[in-house]
Chain A
C-alpha cells in the first residue's frame, strides 16, 4: 500500500540546520510532484514548498524562501527538505504530500 514516511525531525537551536526526509513506497514516486506542508502547534496548515516530478521546478512559501531547499532522489524514492537558519516560528509538524497521499508528519522544534 502507499506509504510516505517522514524522518529527521527533532529539537534544534535557532540558527542551526536540519534535513527532513520522506521515503515513498507503493506508488510511482517519480511521476508525482511532491510538497512539504507544515502545521505549527494548535494552528492551521501552511504550504511550504513543491518540487516537480523530475526536480526541474521548485517553488517556496515566502516564509522559507532562501532558507529552505526542497529536493528529491527518484532513484531512492525519497523527498528532502533542507532547512537552514531555523527560527522558533519554524516549529511545526512537517508533512510530505503527493496528492492525494500524505505522510504522518515529523515534529521540528526550534528552541534554545
Chain B
C-alpha cells in the first residue's frame, strides 16, 4: 500500500498568512493526488485533483503543486473560513490512502 505522510500535523496561523502543507507519498504516484478540506462536524470538501487542478467553485487562494512523491497545498492568504483540517489522498492505486491530516488553527 502507498503511505501518505502529511506535515505538519497541525499549525497555528494568523488571518492573512500564507500557509503551506506538504504531503509525501511512499512511492511515485505521478500527479494522482487530491486535497480535501474538512470542518468540524462536516463532510470533507474536495479542493484539488490531479495535484494542481482546482475543483469548480474553489477559490484561487488555494493552489497545489508537485508530482511523483512530493506535493504541497498552499493557501495564499488565510481567511477565517479556511481554519479546518486538510487531507491529501493518493488515487494512483488501490487501496486509496489518505494522509493523516493537517489541522490549521487560529494563532
Contacts and interface: CB of A to CB of B under 8 A. Distances in A.
Interface in B93-107: 94-101
Interface in B1-25: 1
B44 A50 contact: no
Given A102-B44, A105-B43, A44 B49 contact: no
Instruction: Indicate the size class of the contact surface on chain A.
Output: 10 to 19
Interface residues of B, number: 22
A47 B88 CA distance: 12
Contacts, number: 46
A93 B30 CA distance: 30
Given A44-B100, A44-B101, A59 B46 contact: no
A47 B89 contact: yes
A99 B46 contact: yes
A26 interface: no
B36 interface: yes
7 contacts: A44-B87, A45-B87, A47-B95, A50-B96, A61-B95, A62-B95, A102-B43
